[in-house]
Amino acid sequence: MAEQPSAAERRQLAARYASGVQAALTPPATRGRDEALAAVSAPNLLPASRALAAAAGAGLTAADSLEVAAAEVQLLAGAALDLLLVSSLAEPMPAAVRGYAAELAGVGYEALTPGLDELQTIISAPEAYLVGSVAGRGTRALAMRRTRALSEPATALSDAVHAALAGIRGDVVTTGAHAVEGLLLLDAALLREAIGVVGGDVAGKLGLDLAGFGGRAVNYLLAANEKILALVGLDAVSEARKQLERWLGQLREGALFPNLTERVLRTRATETEIKGWLAAYQGDEAALLLGCDQVTQLTGRFAAKMRVADKVAAGLAVAKVLPPLMTPAGRIAVAAVYLGLLAYIVGSGYDHVDSDRIKLLDRVEGVRGISKRVLAG
C-alpha cells in the first residue's frame, strides 16, 4: 500500500497547483520573457489538479482534527480554482453572458470570481488559515467570554454552545442558500437526472464530449466535482442522494431553506439537551472551561470552511451560464456539482452539530459530542 502524503507534501502539491492556475490566468502580454510562466496553460494543469484531489482526499482520514479540516479546506479551494479555469477556458465570454451571470447572483460580474490571491494563500497554508479564522472571530468578544468563563464557567459554556449552534445554523443557511438558488433555477427534470449521477461517472453517464475546446472546460468542472465528492465521502453518496431528493422536493413545495435547515440540524433540540446535562453537572469547573474552548474552536473552523465553500458556489454561478455547459448534459453536470456541494454543506453542518440522527459525515466531534463528553461522561 502506498504511503499517504504528509501534510507538508499536501501543502506543496496545493501550492504548485495554485501557482499554475495563477500563471495560466496571467494575460500573455504581462508574462514577459519568463519561459516557465509562458509554458503554463490551463489544459496542462489537469494532472496537478487530480494529484491535489488524491492527496487532500487522503488527508480526510488523518488522526489530527486540524489536519482533517485543512484537507477539507484544500479540497474546497482546489474546486474553486478548478472553476476559475472553467471560466478562463470558456473565454471570450459574450457580454450578455457576463451580465446574465451577474444578474443571477445580484452582484457585479467581477464579484463572482473568487480572488485568486486569497485562494492561493488559503490552499497553500490551510492550517494557518483555520487557526487565524478562529483567532479572528470577534477577538474582543472571545476575550470577554474567556474572562467571564473564569468566574462563571457553567454560564460561559452555555453561552458558547448557544453561539456555536446559532453560528453553524447561520453558516449553513447562508452558504447553502447560494447553492439552493442555483439549483432551483434549473428545470425539475434536469435536477432529477442530476441526483441520479451524483457520485457516479458524470461524463460517462451523460455522454459529455471531453475533446476539443469546450471539453477542456468540462474537464475542470469534473475535477471540481471529484473534490466535492471526496468531501461528501463515497460511502455516504447513497444516503446523500436520498436526502437531496427529499430536500429539493420540500423546497419546491414551498419550504423555506432556513426552516428546512433547522429540521435537519435540530440545533434547538440539541441545545435543550445540552442544557439538561449542564444543569445536572456536578464535576470539575476546569472541564467546563476546556469544553468552552473546544466548542468555540469547532465553530470557528466550520465558519472558515463555509467561507471557502461559498467561493465554490460563486464559481458555479458563473460556470452554469458558460457556452460549453449550456447543453442539457452540461447543465446536468453543473447541477450534480451543486448537489454535491449542498450535500457537503448541510452534512458538514450536521456533523458539527452532532445530533446523531442521519449518517452523512462523521469527521468531527460536534457541539453535542463535546458537551456530552464534558458533562455526561
Better pLDDT: 182 or 358: 182
The model's confidence at residue 244, banded by pLDDT at 50, 70 and 90, is: confident
Instruction: Please report, for the chain, the start and end positions of each structural domain, with discontinuous segments joined by +.
Output: 7-376
Which pLDDT belongs to residue 111? 46
Coil, strand or helix: which one is 217?
helix
Average the pLDDT over each of 184-198, 237-251, 329-343, 362-376 and give the range with the smallest value: 184-198
Which pLDDT belongs to residue 358? 66
Task: Report residue 178 as a C-alpha cell.
Answer: 447560494
Judge whether residue 146 has pLDDT over 80.
Answer: no
The model's confidence at residue 183, banded by pLDDT at 50, 70 and 90, is: confident
Judge whether residue 138 has pLDDT over 70.
Answer: no
Q: Tell me the per-residue pLDDT of 168-178, one tens digit each, with 9 for 90 and over.
A: 999 999 999 99
Which pLDDT belongs to residue 29? 59
Burial class (CB in 10 A: 0-12, 13-18, 19+), 65: middle
Better pLDDT: 186 or 338: 338
Which pLDDT belongs to residue 321? 84
Q: Report in angstroms the alpha-carbon separations of 139 from 136, 152, 300.
A: 6, 19, 11
The model's confidence at residue 249, banded by pLDDT at 50, 70 and 90, is: confident
Task: Report residue 149 as a C-alpha cell.
Answer: 468563563
Q: What is the mean pLDDT of residues 141-163?
A: 73
Average the pLDDT over each of 17-26, 135-144, 238-247, 285-294 and give the range with the smallest value: 135-144
The model's confidence at residue 47, banded by pLDDT at 50, 70 and 90, is: very high
Q: Tell me the per-residue pLDDT of 6-41, one tens digit each, with 9 for 90 and over.
A: 999 999 999 999 999 988 887 665 555 554 444 456
Judge whether residue 184 has pLDDT over 50.
Answer: yes
DSSP 8-state code for residue 123: H
Better pLDDT: 115 or 298: 298
Judge whether residue 261 has pLDDT over 60.
Answer: yes
Q: What is the mean pLDDT of residues 182-200?
A: 78
Judge whether residue 216 has pLDDT over 90.
Answer: no
DSSP 8-state code for residue 121: H
Which pLDDT belongs to residue 13? 95
Which pLDDT belongs to residue 265? 92
Q: How many whole angstroms separate alpha carbon 359 and alpha carbon 160?
A: 25
Helices (H) and strands (E) in the chain, counts: 19, 0
Q: Tell me the per-residue pLDDT of 286-305, one tens digit each, with 9 for 90 and over.
A: 899 999 999 999 999 999 99
Give 236-242 contacts, CB < 8 A, sequence gap 24+. 236/343, 236/347, 236/359, 236/360, 236/361, 237/198, 237/199, 238/199, 239/358, 239/359, 239/360, 240/198, 240/199, 240/340, 240/343, 240/347, 240/360, 241/195, 241/196, 241/198, 241/199
Q: Tell me the per-residue pLDDT of 69-99, one tens digit each, with 9 for 90 and over.
A: 999 999 999 999 999 998 877 655 555 545 5
Which pLDDT belongs to residue 190? 79
Which pLDDT belongs to residue 19? 92
Which pLDDT belongs to residue 342? 93
Judge whether residue 104 has pLDDT over 50.
Answer: no
**Sign of the torsion formed by the C-alpha atoms of 49, 53, 59 and 60:** positive
Judge whether residue 318 has pLDDT over 60.
Answer: yes
Phi and psi based region of residue 266 (left: phi greater than 0; alpha: psi -120 to 50; beta: remaining): left
Contact 186, 62 (CB under 8 A): no
Chain-wide mean pLDDT for the chain?
A: 82
